[in-house]
Structure 1
Amino acid sequence: MADQDDHKARLEALERRLAAKRAADAPKPHMEEHYSQAQHAWRMVVELVAGLGIGFVIGYGLDTVLGTKPFLMVVFTLLGFAAGVRTVIRTAQELQTRAMADQAGSEREGE
């Protein structure tokens, strides 16, 4: 009986040491708090530039094939810009919806 108590005590001591070690080795956040929104801003910039780039490439390709330089390049660049702006607006709405849901959840926990 005393042998089982000794094993339990040793096991509990080991569990406490492991828990302390795991807490010390817990991964730290990769970003500082004041940079937490930068990833969203970069996402929006990339979406806008991608829209412009894709529109430019499509327009340039069609201009080369059809021999209408620079007409279609300008048209598709503007269409790409419009598509990029639309995507950025959708992303901003998504982030706003997510932030409002988080805020509502934290208010419910505070009650």
Structure 2
Amino acid sequence: MPDPDLRELEAKINAAKARSAPAKPHQEEHYSQAQLAWRMVIELVAGLGIGFGIGYGLDWLFGTLPIFMVLFVMLGLAAGIKTMLRSAQEIQDKKIADMAKNDEGA
């Protein structure tokens, strides 16, 4: 039967290893960053695509020059950028909250 002091020492060593181990492996964090980047690209492209579709549809309906298409592509671009900025702010807020949580635990 192992000595109680050895078990206590082993528990302390395991606790120290757990504290110093990274929360997430580096590869998982990189994958997460790639997901976030693709999310932002998709949001921008979706805004442009929706704006183009609405503008083209209105131009076709009214038989006008591509004035509505240009107008709605610009509005779609603005909406896509606004959505990207909102996503970036969410990510930043989450990282700040995680850092604050880690600092409190230390």
TM range (shorter): 0.7 to 0.9
2:27 to 26, 32, 46: 32
Name the counterpart of 1:83: 79
User: Could you tell me how far apart the structure 2 residues matched to 1:53 and 1:63 are?
Assistant: 15
Aligned residues: 81
Give structure 2 stretches of 5+ with no counterpart: 1-23
Percent identity reads 59
SS in 1 for 2:46: helix
Q: Cα deviation per residue 1:86-106 (whole Å; 9 max; x = unaligned)?
A: 000000000000000000000
Query: Is the contact made by 1:63 and 1:73 (CA closer than 8 Å) also made in structure 2?
Result: yes
- After the TM superposition, list the runs of 4 or more consecutive aligned residues in structure 1 that deviate by more than 4 angstroms: none
Give structure 1 stretches of 5+ with no counterpart: 1-28
Name the counterpart of 2:70: 74
- Within a 5 Å distance, the mapping from 1:1-111 to structure 2 comes to 32-33=27-28, 34-110=30-106
C-alpha RMSD over aligned residues? 1.6
Query: Is the contact made by 1:55 and 1:78 (CA closer than 8 Å) also made in structure 2?
Result: yes
Query: Is the contact made by 1:51 and 1:81 (CA closer than 8 Å) also made in structure 2?
Result: yes
- How far apart are 1:76 and its partner, in Å? 0.2
If the length of structure 1 is used for normalisation, what is the TM-score? 0.69
Matched residue type, 2:46: A
Larger Rg: 1
